[in-house]
Amino acid sequence: MAHPWPSRPVRLVVGFTAGSSTDVTGRIFAQRFSEAWGQPVVVENIPGNGGAIGLDRVARAAPDGHTLMWAGNGAVTIVPSLQPLPFDPLKDLVSIGITLSMPSLILANAATPWRSLPELVAHARANPGRVSFGTPGVGTPQHIVGEMLCHQAGIRMEHIPYRGANLADLLSGAVPVGIQNAGASLPLVREGRVRCLGVTSLTRSANAPELPTVAEQGYPGFEALSWFGLMAPAGTPPGIIRTVHAAAIRVLADGDMRARFAALGLDAVGGSPEAMRETIAADIPKWARVIAEAGIPVAR
């Protein structure tokens, strides 16, 4: 006879630091899951390696539904092409569903003179290697955005990786350029504390239609989106996967929740486990091509 689930607190692993968009969104879902399941759902931050350290921990956990992953797409679809990993995202983890999607923003410190992406590019071209850009870490979609821009614009900027959405250095001017997901940075743009030079969706975001895209500023086809999804260790019972997916769909169907996510620049997705797995399988080779074309160093 199967034991009722959950029979004890559930761990929701987040691969980034507290306060990052991954963390903030994960905690929203954790709270709603706790209410639905009658057991605490505790967020555990295991940052590092673009979220891959947390994913590895979940891949090794007991497949009993009491350890889940709030995964960002970087660790699942980008990092595997940058370095050898001790887990296979398609074999050692099971997809539950993509929940939220958003573009990244290319940001400038408010004291810089740049008012558009072409102005930043012109300055970087005249000062090769002397402009730095901060991201949430190596292998994140934001890191890839910076390398894609450098490659397509023919410029060289220094990458400064952090362990999450460290916007303090951008605000202070320690780094003049930041590339962050919309969830972490859109509130600061709206407050006028940083300047947005470009959005990485192909079309302007419905959540911030006043912000120009990178594509419309001379880089047609430039697109790099971030998404968050739920995963579990391979072998987790299908019934638990269905229960978690259904709970996530209920959160996304809530009008107040959708408004809250939209304010953070996030679009509700609510895809099926099968759709998430297909996205991962398609995105791994897609990002591998981008990494190769941009000449991003790969660890062996």
Q: What is the pLDDT of residues 65-92, one digit of tens each?
A: 999 999 999 999 999 999 999 999 999 9
Q: Residue 50 carries which side chain, given as an amino acid letter? A: G
Enumerate helices (H) and strands (E) in the chain, giving the number of each: 10, 10
pLDDT digits (tens, 9 = 90+) for 196-229: 999 999 999 988 999 999 999 999 999 999 999 9
Q: Which residues sit opposite 177 in a β-bridge?
A: 108, 133
pLDDT of residue 2: 57
Residue 220: Cβ within 10 Å count: 12
The encoded tokens of residue 265 equal 């620049």
Q: How confident is the model at residue 241 (pLDDT cuts 50, 70, 90)?
A: very high
Q: Over 50: is that where the pLDDT of 1 sits?
A: no
Distance (Å, rounded) from C-alpha 234 to C-alpha 8? 20
Q: Which residues contact 194 (CB under 8 A, 6 or more apart)?
A: 107, 108, 109, 110, 167, 170, 171, 178, 185, 188
The encoded tokens of residue 137 equal 């870490």
Q: Rounded to two decimals, what is the model's pTM? A: 0.86
Query: Counting beta carbons within 10 angstroms of the beta carbon of residue 119, is it exposed (0 to 12), middle (13 to 18) or buried (19 or more)?
Result: middle
Backbone angles phi, psi at 186, to 5 degrees: -60, -40
